[in-house]
């Protein structure tokens, strides 16, 4: 083990130390109010979330997973229906579709953005008569660009559910904020997210008032009015303490996002100077067998929930071990496609999903957070460069 200080993937202790006084003052107000579930603090955060996304309505809930489930249920999707979704994403993206009784139809990804490939989505959609919706996922802080898929969905009356768990504050290439192009967008505020609670929390934004009203009922067991239930919902209410923490953190989100972007660009520049490639270049094209993500042109904005590089699959395990030896954390997102998960095996397509399967073998996440020192980034890049040259 190296004598260097350890560089973690994320440092929440440093983040919370900076805003500790604000948090404690906010928690004291909740304690004094005696209202700990929903209430005025939750309503305040919902208003702030809607404003951030330029949305008409926002509804809070207990987790990002619940947000996806609530969106599907509120849209009436269930047994006998099918929903397109990317095969490269967190488990909840597809699991929530299966949980409502519908069939997830897996779509391959764009190898550059790692988000759903719109052309592949349309190709698969044309052979599915019971298709009821499309669920996209904004991986690692970049909004999934819909391209021709947006017009296709409008023509076929297919609502778009945006899994925006990783893209709070992001902007697409058309200048639209996260959630703007979707019928409903779903957020996770898990502590490790760019806007993270101090436990589980989630939320949804939509421009459809009727949909938001139904979601708000479903999150409290389906209650229409006190003591009256016409359908089965769930208990997925946000705690006031979490809402206060999120409102406080929301004041700092823009600054934190700028800091993440500055550090990601520093990574890009350092890797380029050592011979890494970017965009659609082959891993074998540069002097360093590593590829960074292509820069996102303005007005688009990547918020870098994770900083992802690609390395040859036969070198990744050894690289991870070398980083760990030097006290540097790294993480694989995701080690297998959703169609390769045992719990979802019944929904796997007959043909493979080559871009998804390649990404699972090559991608690697490196430390990135607002408090990360630039000297630490240089240490990460130096370690990777030296290691790849001898592997």
157-194, pLDDT tens digit by residue?
Answer: 999 999 999 999 999 999 999 999 999 999 999 999 99
Residue with the larger pLDDT of the pair 142 and 391: 142
Query: Of 72, 81, 140, whose CA–CA distance to 105 is shortest?
Result: 81
42-73, pLDDT tens digit by residue?
Answer: 999 999 999 999 989 999 999 999 999 999 99
Q: How far is CA 126 from CA 31, 338, 367, in A?
A: 54, 22, 41
In the predicted model, is pLDDT for residue 116 greater than 60? yes
> Does domain 253-390 sit in CATH 3.90.1150.10?
yes
Structure tokens at 225: 């009015």
- pTM equals 0.95
When the pLDDT of each residue in the chain is averaged and rounded to a whole number, the result is 95
Domain parsing of the chain, residue ranges: 12-250, 253-390
Mean pLDDT, residues 294-321 taken together? 96
Which pLDDT belongs to residue 2? 56
Mean pLDDT, residues 349-369 taken together? 96
Residue 228's H or E segment, with its range, is: strand 228-229
123-150, pLDDT tens digit by residue?
Answer: 999 999 999 999 999 999 999 999 999 9
CA end-to-end distance (rounded Å), the chain: 19
Which pLDDT belongs to residue 3? 64
Which pLDDT belongs to residue 198? 96
Report the 10 Å Cβ neighbour count for 228.
Answer: 8
196-245, pLDDT tens digit by residue?
Answer: 999 999 999 999 999 999 999 999 999 998 899 999 999 999 999 999 99
> Does domain 12-250 sit in CATH 3.40.50.2300?
no
Question: What sections of 34-116 are H helices per DSSP?
Answer: 40-52, 64-74, 91-99
Q: Report whether 165 contacts 197 (CB < 8 A).
A: no
Query: Of 356, 56, 274, whose CA–CA distance to 180 is shortest?
Result: 56
Q: Report whether 84 contacts 124 (CB < 8 A).
A: yes
The percent helix, strand, coil of the chain (3-state, each to 5) is 40, 15, 40
């Amino acid at each position: 083990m190296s004598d260097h200080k350890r560089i973690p993937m994320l440092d929440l202790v440093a983040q919370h130390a900076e805003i500790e006084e604000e948090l404690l003052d906010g928690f004291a107000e909740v304690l004094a109010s005696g209202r700990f579930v929903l209430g005025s603090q939750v309503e305040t955060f919902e208003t702030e979330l809607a404003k951030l996304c330029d949305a008409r309505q926002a509804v809070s809930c207990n987790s990002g997973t619940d947000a996806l489930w609530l969106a599907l249920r509120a849209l009436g999707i269930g047994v006998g229906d099918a929903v397109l979704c990317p095969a490269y994403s967190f488990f909840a993206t597809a699991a929530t579709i299966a949980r409502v009784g519908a069939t997830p139809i897996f779509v391959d990804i764009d190898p550059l953005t790692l988000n759903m490939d719109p052309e592949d989505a349309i190709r698969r959609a044309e052979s599915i008569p019971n298709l009821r919706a499309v669920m996209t996922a904004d991986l690692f802080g970049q909004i999934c660009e819909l391209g021709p898929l947006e017009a296709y969905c409008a023509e076929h009356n297919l609502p778009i559910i945006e899994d925006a768990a990783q893209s709070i504050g992001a902007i697409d290439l058309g200048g639209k904020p996260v959630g703007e192009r979707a019928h409903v967008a779903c957020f996770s505020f898990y502590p490790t997210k760019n806007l993270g609670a101090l436990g589980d929390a989630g939320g949804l934004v939509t421009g459809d008032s009727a949909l938001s009203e139904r979601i708000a009922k479903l999150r409290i067991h389906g209650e229409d009015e006190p003591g009256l239930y016409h359908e089965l919902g769930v208990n997925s209410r946000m705690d006031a303490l979490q809402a206060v923490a999120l409102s406080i953190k929301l004041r700092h989100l823009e600054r934190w996002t700028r800091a993440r972007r500055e550090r990601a660009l520093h990574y890009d520049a350092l890797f380029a100077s050592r011979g890494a490639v970017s965009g659609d270049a082959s891993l074998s094209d540069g002097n360093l067998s590593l590829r960074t993500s292509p820069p996102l042109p303005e007005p688009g904005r990547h918020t870098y929930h994770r900083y992802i590089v690609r390395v040859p699959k036969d070198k990744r395990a050894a690289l991870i071990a070398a980083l760990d030896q030097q006290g540097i954390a790294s993480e694989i997102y995701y080690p297998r496609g959703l169609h390769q998960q045992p719990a979802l095996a019944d929904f796997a397509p007959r043909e493979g999903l080559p871009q998804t399967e390649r990404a699972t073998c090559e991608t690697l996440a490196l430390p990135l957070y607002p408090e990360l020192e630039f000297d630490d980034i240089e240490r990460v890049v130096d370690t990777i460069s030296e290691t790849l040259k001898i592997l």
